[in-house]
Structures are given as structure tokens and as C-alpha cells.
Structure 1
Amino acid sequence: MAKQLPKQLEAALAWSKSNALAVVFCAIVVVVPVGAYMAADWWGSDVREQLAKRADLLSRLNAAKNSKIEIALPGEAPLSLDGLAGPELQEEYTAIMVRAKGDSDAVFAVAREFNGGTATRPKHPAVVDAKVFPAYDARNAVVSDGVRSKVADALAAAYAKLLTATRAGSPPEASKVADALGAEEKRFVQGEFRVDSRGKLDPAQTVLLQTRLGKFRMAQYADVAKNISMYADLSAFDVPSRDSVKGLYKANDGNNKQKQCDAQDLALFELEWKYWIASDVMNAFAQANSRSPSVQQAAVKRVIRIAILPSESAAAATTGEASAMGGETPAVDGVVPDEGVAPANTTVAAVSPALGSPIIDSGQTVTRDYAKRYTGRVSNGVYDVRLADVTFVAATSRLPQVFDALANQNFMTVTNVRLVPADAFAAARDGFVYGAEPVSTVTATIETIWMRDWTAQHMPAATRTALGITSSTPESSAAPAEPVNQGS
């Protein structure tokens, strides 16, 4: 028997059946508002999300429309443009940068050749064979002593050759002039006055003799002057000798032997670097005088002193690649072979086989420091700046010609100059015949630039370390060392 519903529920069901339309409308009144509210909430959330996305997009588009972009241009101030960089602008910018890179590489190649020459015609060849320096066993005291002597001898010979090449010379030696004057006096006294000595001349004859000898002495000075381009001798340079380099290596200092090796390498390369700088200055002076037959018509009359200032960037090397120096087997008797000085027209390796090639990033950004000099140039990863204080006598009106010759010879700029009128008559009494033009004693500070792309190949490990130059290991070097021609 089926279970009976409660009477109240049966009565409600019966009423609902008899009033079905009313029940349906009541349900609609209750359910629809609730469902509509829920549906509206879901739909409104989606609409709000879409509107938020559109608002964000419009905001970004508006910001892009009102934005500015800066395009970096090599060697120029950044270019400011309105809006975004589209594909066409990006393609144009890429093309500009490719052309700029090509131009930069071409300019660097020209600058490098101007500064250091080429592999076959180096502007500053090494003064000794690379097998003598820097590729030697620096830890062997006997070998090191021989290397010091070889470098000192080679540099002394190079300076002497530089004087000859630039037609520089000195007044005749005082002893030779005195001997010539004595012979002329004897000839004149005996031939003109028929007496055997000066003591027998009367006052008038003595005056004539003094006038004669004065002219004769000036003729002696003039004979030398007409055969040279300028006055200069070895005292104008820091010319090393065997005695001056003896103290570079202390074999008894066992605790700091590597430091002593490094100190010697630093000092020897510094001597060679100083020669390169001095040779540039002298060759520039020779060029300034090239159209003058003698010193009397020349722009530069006399070179008194070329003092190379210490490197601004070098510091004492204590660790690093310098410890890898050496490794070459010395001769049986421990002495460097006599063929240490490279003969003309021969090629030698520019990089020590025990060191590897220097790693130079020629594309890095170079900053300037105008607090040091008006040029702003300071030593960096691309080039080194070396200063020289040069004291010389020149024709005052032709100093611009001299300064132009310095710039034409290499990257040299006069950053400071001091002039003092020179006494040509006092100089003539000492044998320096300057000619008729007014002359000045000039002290000029000259800034010189040395690109590491080629100088680092001549550097020993200690110098590279001091300048912050890294080197590839010999095994990882991409190619063997580029040969350097030792001839001029």
C-alpha cells in the first residue's frame, strides 16, 4: 500500500493543480530576477574586461604617438624622433650603422698605418731581434745580462743613426778649432808681417790679427753649418749604455726574482719606446727643414733636449702574464748570440712565442678627460698617450711650420709652448750659427699617440700587464705572429 502524503501537502498539490497558471507566474516572478541578476553579472564582467583591454591599448597607442625615441649615431649627438621606430626606420638605421662600421674600419686602418706603418714597412721597427727581446729567458741571470747589453748597444747605435738620417750635427770640436786657429795665426803672422810670433806685433797689427782670426773661426763654424740641417747630439736624448742598465736585474734577490725580471722588461721596453718617440720628433724637425740647404736657412736650428715623460697609465707589474715570460733555451755558454741586433731587410716574429698575441678591442668607446689637457686624450684600451718636453731653437716666424710638421709625421699635438728670445750672437761664439732670422728658445710639451694594435705586439709580458693588456695563449692564437720587417 502506497505511503500517504500529509494532508496539508495533498491540499497544496491539489490547489496547485487547480491553479497551475498562477503557480507558473509566481515561479517566474521569483526565478527570473535572480537568474537575470546572475547573468547580468557574468556578462558585465566580460564587458568590463574587454573595455579595460581597449582602454589600455588606447593608452599605449596614445603614449606611443606622443613618445620620442633617440637613435645613437656614431660620432654625433643622438637623433631624436617622434613616435615609434617602424620597419622602414629600422632598416634605414641598420644600413646607416653598416656604412658607419665600414667607414670606421677604413679610418682605423689608415690611422693604424699612419701611426705604426705596415708589416713590410714598419714606421717604428724593433731595435733588436724579438728572439733577443722580449722573447728570452729572463730568469737566467747570464742571459738577462747579455740582453741588457744588446738592447743598450742597439739603442745607442739607433740614436747615432737617427742623427745621421736627420742631418743633425754639432759645431766643430773646440780642440780642432784651436789647432786650426793656431795654424792660421802662424801662417798670417809670418806671411803678412814677417815676424815669427804674435808677441812681436804692434797694436795695429794685433787688431788686424784678431779680426783675421775671428773671421777664420766663423768660417770654420760656417763650413760645418752648411752641411747639416740642425744642431743636435746624443746629449739631447736618454741614450742607454751598458753601465746605465746594469742595475736592472738583481740576481741575488731570490725572493723577488720574478719581480726583478718584470722590472727589467719594463725598463728595457720603456727605453725602446722613448727612442720611438724621439725619432718621430726628430723626423718631424727634419721634414720642417727639408727645403733648407743648411741650418742657417732652416726652421729648426738646434735640438737641445727631448725628455720623454713617464707613461700616465703604466704601473708596476707584480702579477699576471709576466710570470709566463721566458722559456727559450739559452745558448750552451749562456750568452745571447751575436746576431741579436736585427740586420736590415730581415723579418722577425713580432710576438714572443711564449706570450701569445695581445687582445685589443679597437671598437671600444674611448672617453676623454679635458681636465688633463685641452685635447681630452688620455690612455685607454685603444691607444696610449705619451708626453714629451722638447726644448729647441727655431726661427720664431716659422714655428707654425714646425708644429705642422709634427702633426704630419704622426699623431703629435703641441699642448703647451713657452718662448724665450735666443741670443744668436752668444750662440755663434759657441759655434752655433743660426743665420739672420730672429730665433727663440722653445720648450714645447708634445702629446703623442701610440695605438696598441701594433705597439702591444712588441711589448713584453710585464708591460702588457702594467697597461692592462691581456694576451691569448700561444695554443689559442688564431694565426702565427705577423712578421715585422727590420729594414727601413
Structure 2
Amino acid sequence: MNTKKVIALLKANLWSLLTLVLSLGIGGGAVVWASGERGKVESTLAERAKVVNQLDGFHRGNLDVSIAGNNIVSGSGVPTSQLIEQVNAQVERSNAYAKSFVADAESFHLRNRKPFNTELFPEPPSSKREVIPETFHGQMASAYAQLEGEVAAVKPLGEDELVDKLRARRRMYLGGLDEIPQENLDDYRVAMSEQRVSSLRDRAMEGGVYLDAAATNFPPYEQTKSYALGELYLWQWDYWIREDILRALTANNRPEGVFENPVKRIRRISPEPIAAFQGGSEQPRPGGMGMGGGAPGAGGMGGGADSLDQPITNDLSYSLTGRQSNGVWDVRPVDILMVVETARLPEVIDELTRENFFTVLDVSLTPVDSFAALAEGCYYGSAPVSDVALRLETVWFRSLHQDKSKATSAGSTDEFDAGVGAQVSWWMPTDLRKALGIPVTDPMGDQGMDGGMTGPGSEGWR
């Protein structure tokens, strides 16, 4: 076939030829495209199958939701509206229990306490800055006197009183004679010894427990001294501590007859001072657990109101309980020295631990010579007695120092959590809060109507 015939043939069948070429090209491309799409489809199906298998596993499995207080809500399959309702109901019950528990604890512990003079704390009004501290001291002295009456306290018979009684007995024995006849000396000595014991016993019948001045250790007011507000507030706090301890120690005492009671004499009740604060009592105390500020890593009191959401940890190197001050409470150890009927010491310790959040950390006993105690003006009776040195851990909620009537909510929608972010109004002055490591974000915002003084001269009041 020559070239002209071929060209003529192609021209005659041009459309057929083009159709054949297009058909071959499209068919080949379709095969390539189809093979790529098949891979995508298989991958998509595999992913979907994996999800279906996971959903099937969820449907067949069990679901446990743990809620505070070791409460668990269980169900099977995926979370349903019914299961969510059960969880919400359990959360509400847990919150109600927690609120009730906290309310009971605060009622037992705080007992509606507030400072004796609410004008003084956290800052006295400027018009009364010179007179309120002395007035407050008088209120504290009256409170201690009333407390001594409530616990039926009596002072040991003083030497001068005893001498007066013995002289009166001697005059009666002489009956007008100038001196004791020789033949009556033995009888005279017996009579005077009996008079001495009788006088001491009569004094012991006037109350239920001997109370030394060091048991309260309330200092006299000094007109020339400048008192820091924190020091004045510590008078109040120390009073609350001694109040609870005295009531616990005398809980099983009769109001008359020291010699029949388990606690015979209270020599000293010494709350440990706060190391970071220079105010308060200057009485030396035994070494032990220190009370400090909130410096990171430092021992003693730390934390603050903004640490309520932090876990409370125990440090057994600090004490046998491991408790330390934190954003919820302060720990104030107390040293107690007292004379106790030895066999009845367990019941005394039981009453101490029932009175408040108190824990006995250490106890040491030293036998007491009851006859030697007569020289100190004390009649303990015939039962064996011991000098007991006791280390007591006392825990105090920081809400004790807050004026709840002025607390404002921070806008929390959760009634139980509203207190965490509330605007707190404090009784405790700023200087003492700083010493305890409690954050003071607005030193003017929690003061009295006249605001707080921060310049020179605000450190103390006279």
C-alpha cells in the first residue's frame, strides 16, 4: 500500500480513529484512578472498623466513677443521662456531708468565740487608740478572774497566813502563860503540828485545785510600754488556749476538796510563742517545736488563706502527729506542769483530748513528797501524787480569727466552694498574720472604719 492510499484511508476514517485513541487513553487512566481510590476506601473502612470495635468495647465494659469520700457510682456501657444523674446526686450528697462535717467541727471547736473587745481588732479607731488597749487589758484580767472562779481555783496557803494561824493557836494553848511548861512540850508540838495540817486542809477545802500565777501568766499593764496589736491579740488567743485546758484539767474535780481530786495543782500553762513574732509573753519555755513564719522550707507555721486547695501533708520529723500549720489551721504546742494523783493520770489525759483538738505529745512524771508539799502551802491528801510535765499539741482553725459576719462571697456558683474564694474579714491584726505566714494582699481592706496605719508609729499602741 502506497503512502497516498494510506493518507486517503485515514482521512476517510478520521473520526473512527480519534474515537479509538480516546477510548484507549480513558480506559487506561480509569484503571489507574480506580486502583488509587480502592486504597483510600480500604483505609477508610479500616479506620471505621477500629472505631466501631472501640465503641463495642465501651458498650460491653463497666464504668466506675469515684467521688470524694470513697463513694463509687458504677454502670455499664458508655455514660448515659441516667448515670450522669446518679453521679450528680452522689456529688450533692458528698458536698452536703462535707458541709455538715465542717459545721459540726467548727461548732465544737470555735464555740462562737470572738475577741472581748471588737473595737480593738483588727485596728482601733483613731479616736480611741490611746484608751482601748488599756480597756482591753482590764477585760482580759476580769476574764481570767472569772475563769479561776469557774474552775474553783484556790491559792496555796501563804507562809504569812500560816504563821498567823499558828500564833493564834499558840496563844490559845498558852492560856495566859508566858511559856510552855516543860512537861507539856510534847503535847504542844503535837497540837501545833495538827494546827498546821488543819489550816492547810481548810485552805484545800476552799476550792478544787491549786492554781499558781504562772498558770495564767497574764502580765500587768504598763502605761509607758507600746504594745503591738499582734501582741494584744495573742493575749486573747492565749486566754482561749488556757480556758480550754483549765476546763479539761478540772472536769473531774469537785469544787471543794483539792485532796480528793485527780488534779491537785496547776503550776504552769505555757503556749509556745510564735518565733516570727516578737510580741506576747516573755516567759521562757522549754525547747521543742518552733513556731515560725511561712518562708518556703521553714519549720513551724506556714501557708495561708490561698493554700486551702493544697493537700495537707504530715511531717513526722516535726512531731509524732506530723501536723504543721497550714492554710486551714495553726498548731500551737503548750507545755503544762501540774501535780496529779498518779493513779488517775489516764482520766486526766482523756479529758484533755476530749475538750478540743488536743493531742498529748509527751508526758514525764516525777514523784512528789506530799509532806514536803506542806511547806509550799499545799495539802494533797494521802494518795501518791506526781509532778507531771506534759507537752500538748493544740490545733486552732484559722476561721477562729475571722469575723464571719463580714465575710463576702467571691461569686462562686458552688455553695460549698464559695467559702474558699470569699473575701475574708479578720479579727487577727495584720502584723500577727504576717508572722504566721498568712498572705496579706490588701492591708487596708480588712481594717476598721478608720483604715489601717502603715506608717511610722503604727507598730504599737499605748
What is the TM-score normalised by the length of structure 2? 0.74
Output the CA distance in 1 between the equivalents of 2:14 and 2:267: 131
Partner of 1:464: 433
Amino acid in the other structure paired with 2:322:
G
Aligned-pair CA distance for 1:418? 1.4
Partner of 1:136: 124
Matches within 5 A, 1:219-298: 219-243=198-222, 246-248=224-226, 264-290=228-254, 293-298=256-261
Aligned-pair CA distance for 1:81? 7.7
Aligned-pair CA distance for 1:169? 0.8
Structure number with the bigger relative contact order (C-alpha 8 A, sep ≥ 6) is 1
Amino acid in the other structure paired with 2:152:
R
Match of 2:53 among 50, 54, 58: 58
Q: How many aligned positions are there?
A: 397
Output the CA distance in 2 between the equivalents of 1:79 and 1:417: 43
Match of 1:427 among 355, 368, 373: 373
**Would you say the 8 A contact 2:157–2:378 is kept in 1?**
no
Aligned-pair CA distance for 1:49? 2.2
Partner of 2:267: 304
Aligned-pair CA distance for 1:459? 1.3
Change (3 A) 1:189 1:145: same
Change (3 A) 1:105 1:6: farther
Partner of 1:196: 178
Q: Secondary structure at the match of 2:327?
A: coil
**Would you say the 8 A contact 1:232–1:302 is kept in 2?**
yes
**Would you say the 8 A contact 1:186–1:197 is kept in 2?**
no
Structure with a larger share of its residues in helix: 1
- CA-to-partner distance for each residue in 1:224-260, whole Å, 9 max, x for gaps? 11121100032322212123x84445xxxxxxxxxxx
What is the TM-score normalised by the length of structure 1? 0.70
Structure 1 gaps, min length 5 = 250-263, 318-357, 478-488
Output the CA distance in 2 between the equivalents of 1:133 and 1:31: 95
Output the CA distance in 2 between the equivalents of 1:441 and 1:476: 46
Change (3 A) 1:474 1:391: same
Matches within 5 A, 1:74-223: 74=69, 76=70, 86-87=79-80, 88-118=82-112, 122=113, 125-127=114-116, 129-137=117-125, 144-190=129-175, 195-198=177-180, 201-202=181-182, 204-223=183-202
**Would you say the 8 A contact 1:427–1:433 is kept in 2?**
yes
Q: Secondary structure at the match of 1:288?
A: coil
CA RMSD of aligned residues (A): 3.7
Output the CA distance in 1 between the equivalents of 2:383 and 2:210: 16
Change (3 A) 1:126 1:24: closer
**Would you say the 8 A contact 1:456–1:464 is kept in 2?**
no
**Would you say the 8 A contact 1:360–1:453 is kept in 2?**
no
**Would you say the 8 A contact 2:305–2:328 is kept in 1?**
no
Aligned-pair CA distance for 1:438? 1.6
**Would you say the 8 A contact 2:67–2:90 is kept in 1?**
no
Single out whichever of 453-462 and 381-390 deviates more from structure 2.
453-462
Output the CA distance in 2 between the equivalents of 1:307 and 1:84: 62
Matches within 5 A, 1:383-422: 383-422=329-368
Change (3 A) 1:65 1:238: farther
**Would you say the 8 A contact 1:364–1:382 is kept in 2?**
no
Structure 2 gaps, min length 5 = 275-289, 296-303, 404-426, 448-462
Output the CA distance in 2 between the equivalents of 1:57 and 1:442: 74
Output the CA distance in 1 between the equivalents of 2:322 and 2:162: 50
Output the CA distance in 1 between the equivalents of 2:231 and 2:375: 40
Output the CA distance in 2 between the equivalents of 1:393 and 1:85: 67
Amino acid in the other structure paired with 2:212:
D
Change (3 A) 1:6 1:280: farther
Single out whichever of 210-219 and 406-415 deviates more from structure 2.
406-415
The percentage of aligned residue pairs carrying the same residue is 25
Output the CA distance in 2 between the equivalents of 1:427 and 1:362: 50
Amino acid in the other structure paired with 1:153:
G
Runs of 4+ in 1 over 4 A off after TM superposition: 5-8, 22-31, 59-70, 78-85, 358-365, 469-477
Partner of 1:331: none
**Would you say the 8 A contact 1:65–1:82 is kept in 2?**
no
Change (3 A) 1:279 1:246: farther
Output the CA distance in 2 between the equivalents of 1:306 and 1:190: 47
Q: Secondary structure at the match of 2:175?
A: helix
Single out whichever of 231-240 and 98-107 deviates more from structure 2.
231-240
Aligned-pair CA distance for 1:272? 1.5
